[in-house]
Structure 1
Amino acid sequence: MEEEPRHIGHTIKTLSHLLHRSMTKLLKLEEESSGSVVQSHLLGYFAHHQKNRMLQSDLQQHLGIRRSTMTNILKGMERDGLIVREESEEDKRQKWVVLTGLAKQKCAEHFHLVQEFELAMRQGLSEEQLQQFFTIADTIRRNLEIICLQNYENKQ
C-alpha cells in the first residue's frame, strides 16, 4: 500500500496542539482557564526578555492579537495581581505594563520550566538538524505572511 503524502499544515497544527498540551501540563495550568495559558505566555515573554515593564503595544504585537483582546487579557492580569498599567510620560496613548512581585516570582519559575522543556524537545537533534528546522520554519513563516498579505490586498 502506498503511503499518503504528509502535509505541512497538518503537521504544524498537530505539533502546535501537542506543544500547547505539554506546556499546559508542565506549567500546571490544566485546571485553570485558557486565559491563564495566555497570561503564562506573556509572563514568559517578560522573563525571556529580562524586563519588568513593556509597552502594551509591544505585547500585543508579539501575540499578534487585536488591541481589545490584549486589553481584556491585561484586565484579568491586573485583577489577579500580576501587573499594573501606567501611562507613558512620552505618549499618553501608550501604556506600560509593569510586573508585580507576584508576577516576577511566577516569571522566574516558568522561565526555568520552559528552559527544561526546550532542552527536552531538542533531545536527539544535532545542531545541523536544528539549523535546518529553523531555516525551514522561517521560510514557511514568510510564505504564510505573503499569503496573508495577498488575501488582505484581495479584500481591499
Structure 2
Amino acid sequence: MCKEIESCCTPIAPPWEAPQVIPAQLRRVNNLIFRKIGQIARTNGVEAVTPMHGWIMEYLYRHSETPVFQRDIEREFSITRSTVTNILQLMERKGYITRRSVEQDARLKQLVLTEKGRQFHEDTMRALHQTDEYVASLLTEEENTELLRLLNKLYLGLK
C-alpha cells in the first residue's frame, strides 16, 4: 500500500469532547433545567405535577375568562394532538381539569381548571418561578437578555 493511501485511510481519532451542536446542547440544558424544576418542585410539594401540566394549568388560569380548547393548547405549546390528548386525559384523571361541552358544538370540549388544579397551579408557579430565578442567576442581566433574544429568534425561525 502506498503512503498516500495509507495516510488518507488512517482513521482520525475522535475528539475528546463531542462537538457542541446547537440542538444537542439545547437538549442537554433542557434536561438539566427539567431536573432542577423537579428538585425545586419536590421542595414545594408539587412533585406529582409535571412541568407541562404546570404550564398548561398556568395557561388555563391566565385564560380563565375565555373558552380554551385542546387546539389552543396544541398551538400554544407546539405539541401534537395525540400528545395533548394524552396529557389532558391524565390531568383530568388527576382532577386538575374538567372538560365541559359547549352549547354551540357538542363535539367541542372547553378545558376548565378545577379547584384542585387552581391550588396546584399556585404551588407549581412558585416552583417554576424559583427555577427561573435560579437559572437567570447563572447569567448576567445582559446575557439573559441576549439568550432570550436568540432563543426567540430560533423559535420564530423554526415555527
User: Shared topology, TM-score over 0.5?
Assistant: yes
Runs of 4+, deviation exceeding 6 Å: 1-4
Long gaps (5+) in structure 1: 146-156
1:122 to 120, 136, 141: 136
8 Å contact 2:60–2:112 — kept in the other structure? no
Letter in 2 for 1:51: S
- Higher-Rg structure is 2
**1:135 and 2:145 equivalent?**
no
CA–CA distance in 2 between the matches of 1:8 and 1:125? Answer: 19
Long gaps (5+) in structure 2: 1-14
**1:100 and 2:114 equivalent?**
yes
Considering Cα pairs closer than 8 Å and 6+ residues apart, tell me whether 1 or 2 has the greater RCO.
2
What is the alpha-carbon root mean square deviation over aligned residues? Answer: 3.0
Normalization by structure 1: what TM-score? 0.73
2:88 to 43, 60, 74: 74
Q: CA deviation at 1:25?
A: 2.2
Aligned length: 142
Normalization by structure 2: what TM-score? 0.71
CA–CA distance in 2 between the matches of 1:6 and 1:69? Answer: 29
8 Å contact 1:46–1:107 — kept in the other structure? no
Letter in 1 for 2:64: K
| Aligned-residue identity in percent | 25
**1:16 and 2:30 equivalent?**
yes
* Structure 1 residues 28-107: aligned runs within 5 Å: 28=42, 36-47=50-61, 49=62, 51=64, 54-107=68-121
Note closer, same or farther for the CA distance 1:87–1:8 as it changes in structure 2 (3 Å cut): same
Note closer, same or farther for the CA distance 1:19–1:79 as it changes in structure 2 (3 Å cut): same
